[in-house]
Chains A and B, each alone.
Chain A
Amino acid sequence: GAVVSQHPSWVICKSGTSVKIECRSLDFQATTMFWYRQFPKQSLMLMATSNEGSKATYEQGVEKDKFLINHASLTLSTLTVTSAHPEDSSFYICSARDIRRAKNTEAFFGQGTRLTVV
């Protein structure tokens, strides 16, 4: 399968600072990237969907000014958690798909980022 690389795999930051998480598709062009948040022993909660070159579509209840998503190229999307607070501590994971490939609608996941805000 295709490879999606997410960086960093873990990060600890101080409350009030911002953290940027990168999601890269290494061997295919990702027209769409999804950002999820996963709490311990819970499901993947969709935060936003980003299409290359356009603004991200945020799910209800997700603050777009707090979780800034940029998808400037077909291989890179970034999630920036601004003014992080302890309640933002979570596992963030991205996935990517190339919707131009009609027969392949599979989404490939990055390895996730464990964010801890202290």
Chain B
Amino acid sequence: GENVEQHPSTLSVQEGDSAVIKCTYSDSASNYFPWYKQELGKRPQLIIDIRSNVGEKKDQRIAVTLNKTAKHFSLHITETQPEDSAVYFCAASNWGNNDMRFGAGTRLTVKP
């Protein structure tokens, strides 16, 4: 089955700096890659997603890149703010198998 690895497990940045979180996946059939943000005590919320037919997607300060050949995708947050502090999860989904597997999560701390 699919195996998703995520790095780093913790990330601390200064407010205004950029943050990058990287994930790799094992199943070349995976075709949907969402990123979720989970604040303390709350449910995960989708922040951005990318499908396998595109290489990059951007939404204001958040961008995701996908390299299908290398089977890795990354989340980029620019101009970080303290409210970006949370745990971020990447996931990979295979439409045919209809499952969704998550990486181990990255705890991002943005210092004011």
A interface, CB within 8 angstroms of B: 1, 32, 34, 36, 41-44, 46, 49, 51, 57, 59, 93, 95, 97, 99, 105-112
Q: Give the docked Cα–Cα distance between A116 and B21 (Å).
A: 33
Residue of B nearest to A99 (CB): B98
Q: Identify which of A1, A36, A42, A105 contacts B93 (C-beta below 8 A).
A: A105
A43-B105, A44-B102, A46-B100 are contacts. A110–B34 as well, Cβ < 8 Å? no
**How many chain B residues touch A (Cβ–Cβ < 8 Å)?**
24
Task: Give the interface of B toward A (CB within 8 A).
Answer: 1, 6, 32, 34, 36, 42-46, 49, 51, 89, 93, 95, 98-105, 107
Partner of B89, one of A44, A57, A105: A44
Sample of 27 A–B contacts (CB below 8 Å): A1-B46, A32-B98, A42-B104, A43-B89, A43-B102, A43-B104, A43-B105, A44-B89, A44-B102, A46-B99, A46-B102, A49-B98, A93-B43, A93-B44, A95-B44, A105-B32, A105-B51, A105-B93, A106-B46, A107-B46, A107-B100, A108-B46, A109-B36, A109-B43, A109-B45, A111-B42, A112-B43
